[in-house]
């Protein structure tokens, strides 16, 4: 089939547009959403929230959730707040070390719930959240242990330009962390006033940063450093929201292992819903 000059020009424009969008994170967002939908998660795009510091409206890439109702009529939601990042020019490098004081100044099990059930909320205050004791008592299937698996701490992170192996900055990594933490805080607060009180619910919110680029870990111990190419890493963050100290865990994941990670969150939801 022969094309006219105008048709050739139109095809060229289409090709140029597709190539331009491929360089952004929007195609990655579509791929992430597709994997979640194939695993029967409900996906919401472009969830907006108000930044409590700047009062500027922010956007979260994906909010995904699964829900089931228990025999007692309580609706259980497992939610994933997802940031999607793509950059062909950079690698993400995470600097880690074994921090002997992390048990003292970090909450190693920052599980975030939101519920309108007073008894459940009271029970949360009575649980011993020490990681080892909690896992021993409440985690016979080792699901929580696998998701909250870390014996060292990420104490710094950096973007490294591939072309010259030069450190750039941490703006994209920091942006992902900041947006996830603030979106989680917003969701928890909005759920309190945005749900019908006659419908009992429990939400568990989890944070994922999915990136289509390479991850590396530099593990430091005294005067030695071990460099490894990795596919995922847990990051613990301590922060202030509304003058209150909070903790969060962010699951940094390369896109090529996301399907495997989704299976772990499927198991978590089934466990929370009493389906396992």
Q: What is the pLDDT of residue 228?
A: 96
Phi/psi at 213 (5° precision): -165, 180
Residue found under tokens 């979106």: 183
In angstroms, rounded to a whole number, what is the distance separating the alpha carbons of residues 22 and 14? Answer: 12
In angstroms, rounded to a whole number, what is the distance separating the alpha carbons of residues 150 and 106? Answer: 12
- Which residue segment(s) compose the domain that 72 sits in? 5-272
Give per-10-residue mean pLDDT for the chain (276 aa): 65 68 78 96 83 66 93 91 91 91 76 89 87 83 83 91 87 90 85 71 94 95 95 87 78 96 93 71
Q: What is the pLDDT of residue 9?
A: 67
pLDDT in tens, 76-92: 999 999 999 988 889 99
Domain count, the chain: 1
Q: How far is CA 175 from CA 49, 60, 100, 163, 170, in A?
A: 15, 11, 28, 23, 8
pLDDT in tens, 233-255: 999 888 766 666 778 899 999 99
Measure the CA angle with vertex 191, ends 259 and 53; round to 5°. Answer: 90
Provide the strand spans (E) within 168-275: 201-212, 215-221, 224-230, 232-241, 244-254
Q: What is the pLDDT of residue 7?
A: 63
pLDDT in tens, 178-209: 889 888 888 888 887 666 667 889 999 999 99
Which residue from 130, 110, 123 is spatially nearest to 239, judged by alpha carbons? 110
Q: What is the pLDDT of residue 58?
A: 73
Residue found under tokens 């944070």: 207
């Amino acid at each position: 089939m022969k094309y006219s000059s105008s048709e050739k020009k139109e095809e060229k424009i289409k090709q140029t547009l597709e190539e331009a969008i491929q360089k952004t994170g929007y195609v990655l967002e579509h791929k992430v959403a597709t994997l979640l939908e194939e695993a029967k998660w409900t996906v919401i795009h472009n969830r907006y929230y108000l930044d409590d510091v700047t009062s500027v409206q922010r956007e979260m890439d994906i909010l995904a959730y699964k829900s089931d109702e228990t025999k007692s009529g309580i609706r259980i939601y497992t939610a994933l707040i997802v940031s999607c990042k793509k950059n062909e020019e950079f690698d993400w490098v995470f600097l880690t070390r074994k921090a002997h004081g992390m048990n003292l100044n970090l909450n190693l099990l920052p599980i975030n719930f939101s519920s309108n059930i007073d008894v459940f909320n009271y029970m949360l205050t009575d649980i011993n959240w020490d990681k080892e004791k909690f896992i021993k008592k409440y985690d016979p299937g080792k699901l929580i242990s696998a998701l909250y698996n870390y014996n060292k701490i990420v104490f710094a992170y950096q973007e490294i330009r591939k072309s010259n192996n030069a450190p750039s900055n941490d703006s994209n990594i920091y942006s992902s962390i900041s947006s996830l933490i603030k979106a989680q805080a917003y969701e928890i607060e909005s759920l309190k006033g945005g749900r019908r009180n006659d419908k009992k619910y429990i939400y568990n919110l989890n944070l994922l940063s999915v990136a289509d680029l390479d991850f590396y870990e530099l593990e430091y111990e005294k005067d030695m450093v071990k460099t490894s190419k990795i596919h995922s890493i847990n990051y613990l963050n301590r922060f202030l929201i509304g003058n209150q100290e909070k903790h969060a865990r962010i699951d940094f994941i390369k896109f090529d292992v996301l399907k495997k990670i989704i299976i772990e969150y499927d198991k978590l939801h089934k466990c929370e819903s009493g389906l396992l």
